[in-house]
Amino acid sequence: MIFQNNYNHFKKKMVCFKSSSGGDSYDAAYNARMATIAESQELMAEEYFDFWESDYKPMEQAEIAANMELIPSETELSLAQNEAELSLLPGQTALTAAQTEAAMAETKAWTPVMSSFYSESLNGVDVESEANKAAADAAQSFAGSESSLSRSLAKMGVDPSSGAYAGLSNANSLEQAKTIAGAKTQARSDAEDTNYQRLTTAMGYGG
């Protein structure tokens, strides 16, 4: 169609025969040149139209005819595809229902577990209880240390009423208190870290 449009464009284009100076006086040479240009444009338009008529018009008509011939087969193919998809619907529906049922059963089984998990994550471990356990374990490690110190000093001939004996006994007591305090502090820190990690994990599971 582009060639036919060009033809129409050239056919409609007008060439005004005026004086080359822009006035109304007659200029034969100028008008002759304009007439020649107009004739050339007319000839070009006719050539374009002839080319469209002989080459592009048959091709466009052939394309239209070919597309028309394809319409029945394409329609038949679309119908066959629709029928095939419709035949699959019952199986797909059953599969979807089975998958949904399985997912619901899994969710039902996991619900108590997740509920317990979240509850323990929120409650966490008892920080003070862990600290007291650590203190008791540390104190247990010093059980009998005073008696052992007394026996050792007696073997060395140190008088229990002497200042040296009292100093060593106090040093032992201070070491015990220091160890117990350190154990409690570490236990508190560990318990708080555990609680934080539990909450972080619970948030991850919650999405």
**Helix (H/G/I), strand (E/B), else coil: 172:** helix
Position 171 pLDDT exceeds 70 = yes
pLDDT of residue 10: 47
User: 């394309």: which residue's tokens?
Assistant: 63
For the stretch 41-72, pLDDT in tens is 988 998 888 888 888 889 899 999 998 988 98
Highest mean pLDDT among 9-18, 128-137, 138-147: 128-137
* Stretch among 18-27, 72-81, 159-168, 181-190 having the lowest mean pLDDT: 18-27
**Over 50: is that where the pLDDT of 33 sits?**
yes
Could you tell me which of 37, 31, 33, 29 has the C-alpha nearest to residue 18? 31
Residue 6 has pLDDT above 80, yes or no: no
Specify whether the CB–CB gap between 37 and 15 falls below 8 A.
Answer: yes
Give me the residue spans of the domains in the chain: 2-101, 124-205
Percentage above 90 pLDDT, the chain: 8
CA–CA separation, 90 vs 97, rounded Å? Answer: 10
**Residue 190 has what pLDDT?**
92
Q: Say if residue 33 is exposed, middle or buried (CB neighbours under 10 Å; 0-12, 13-18, 19+).
A: middle
User: In 10 A of CB 11, how many CB atoms?
Assistant: 12
User: Residue 196: pLDDT above 50?
Assistant: yes
Query: What are phi and psi for residue 14, nearest 5 degrees?
Result: -105, 145
Residue 148: predicted pLDDT:
73
Give yes or no for residue 138 having a pLDDT over 60.
Answer: yes
Q: Can you give the pTM of this predicted structure?
A: 0.40
Mean pLDDT in residue range 157-166: 70
More confident residue, 117 or 90: 90
Contact in structure between 177 and 138 (CB atoms under 8 Å)? no
